[in-house]
């Protein structure tokens, strides 16, 4: 492998993704695993990082830019939140250096919304947004996940945002509530499933009834032997529809939203957006966005100053 300009790492609670990049952001090598914070803390964050870099043959001195929960209180070193509204080009300038023996390592800060009525935080998603603002995008972005983010971008800044626990609620309801037996053994939800679209539509029509409709999933299984596949699809639709209804209430019209997602989540949200009649939606690959955002941050933070690295 050619000597990279820098390496970038998205290090989460349960995942690790590393890319070695040249100065233009092209991938020279990569490593990924499920070695998130819990596993890495026991071994030592620097030891984990260096093991992956050694496997790629990355020499000492090549700097590393990171984002994600590695910068949380439970991570390598806490990278303090920046307060919204905040320009995303400040992320790189305010990255936190961490103690490391073989190279410069920096972690991007998250963003805090310190509104009394609507406090919120994000850590990691802001890096994906950095890739959008570099292209001059203004408007709304939706980032599905365990904790889905809806963000309003204005002139390169995160103006405000709202988090919805859609993915976590889906997992909890399907595994740890009275609904669990009704969905046992169901395959992954297909975006084309009619039950999914009906769930989205029902939640949009009357979001205040979703708590009742969730219990109906159990009742339908008990009384009518509703298939697990159909029940799980409806559960997913109800929760994603509830999220969209909430985003409308908090952020207004959702037309023109950029959907930053990959894999099954991208298909489910695109279908849900169609049911909700949200116009002008564009899709961006989440992994590409986080890698491009990290590259942009590394390019800024590690730029030579008076002939030396910053």
Structure-token match 């970038």, residue found: 8
Report, as ranges of residue numbers, the positions in the chain whose pLDDT lies below 50: 306-310
What are the residue boundaries of the structural domains of the chain, listed by start? 6-163+287-309, 165-279
Same CATH topology for 6-163+287-309 and 165-279: the answer is: yes
Q: Over the stretch 102-120, which tens digit does the pLDDT of each residue have?
A: 999 999 999 999 999 999 9
CATH code of the region 6-163+287-309: 3.30.420.300
- Crossing angle of the two packed helices 125-133 and 286-301, in degrees rounded to 10: 80
Q: Over the stretch 148-192, which tens digit does the pLDDT of each residue have?
A: 999 999 999 999 999 999 999 999 999 999 999 999 999 999 999
pLDDT at 10: 97
Task: Tell me the pLDDT of the chain averaged across its residues.
Answer: 95
CATH class (in words) of the domain with range 165-279 = alpha beta
| Max CA distance (Å), the chain | 75
Identify the CA nearest to 132 among candidates 21, 305, 260: 260
Identify the CA nearest to 294 among candidates 52, 76, 70: 70
């Amino acid at each position: 492998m050619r000597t990279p300009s820098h390496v970038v790492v998205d290090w989460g609670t349960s995942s690790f993704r590393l890319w070695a990049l040249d100065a233009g952001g092209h991938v020279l090598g990569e490593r990924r695993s499920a070695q998130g914070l819990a596993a890495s803390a026991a071994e030592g964050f620097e030891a984990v990082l260096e093991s992956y870099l050694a496997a790629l043959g990355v020499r000492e001195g090549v700097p590393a830019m990171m984002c994600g929960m590695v910068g949380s209180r439970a991570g390598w070193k806490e990278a303090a939140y920046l307060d919204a509204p905040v320009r995303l080009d400040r992320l790189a300038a305010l990255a936190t250096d961490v103690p490391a023996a073989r190279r410069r390592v920096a972690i991007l800060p998250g963003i805090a919304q310190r509104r009394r009525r609507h406090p919120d935080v994000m850590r990691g998603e802001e890096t994906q947004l950095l890739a959008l603002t570099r292209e001059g995008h203004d408007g709304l972005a939706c980032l599905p996940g365990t904790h889905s983010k809806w963000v309003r971008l204005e002139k390169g800044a995160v103006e405000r945002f709202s988090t919805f626990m859609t993915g976590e609620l889906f997992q909890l309801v399907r595994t740890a509530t009275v609904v669990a037996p009704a969905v046992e053994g169901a395959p992954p939800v297909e975006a084309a499933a009619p039950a999914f679209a009906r769930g989205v539509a029902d939640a949009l029509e009357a979001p205040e009834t979703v708590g009742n409709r969730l219990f109906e999933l159990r009742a339908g299984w008990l009384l009518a032997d509703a298939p697990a596949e159909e029940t799980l699809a409806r559960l997913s639709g109800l929760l994603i529809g509830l999220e969209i209804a909430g985003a409308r209430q908090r952020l207004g019209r959702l037309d023109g939203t950029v959907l930053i997602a990959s894999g099954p989540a991208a298909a489910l949200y695109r279908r849900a957006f169609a049911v909700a009649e949200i116009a002008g939606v564009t899709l961006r690959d989440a992994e590409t966005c986080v890698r491009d955002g990290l590259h942009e941050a590394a390019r800024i933070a590690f730029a030579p100053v008076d002939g030396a690295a910053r």
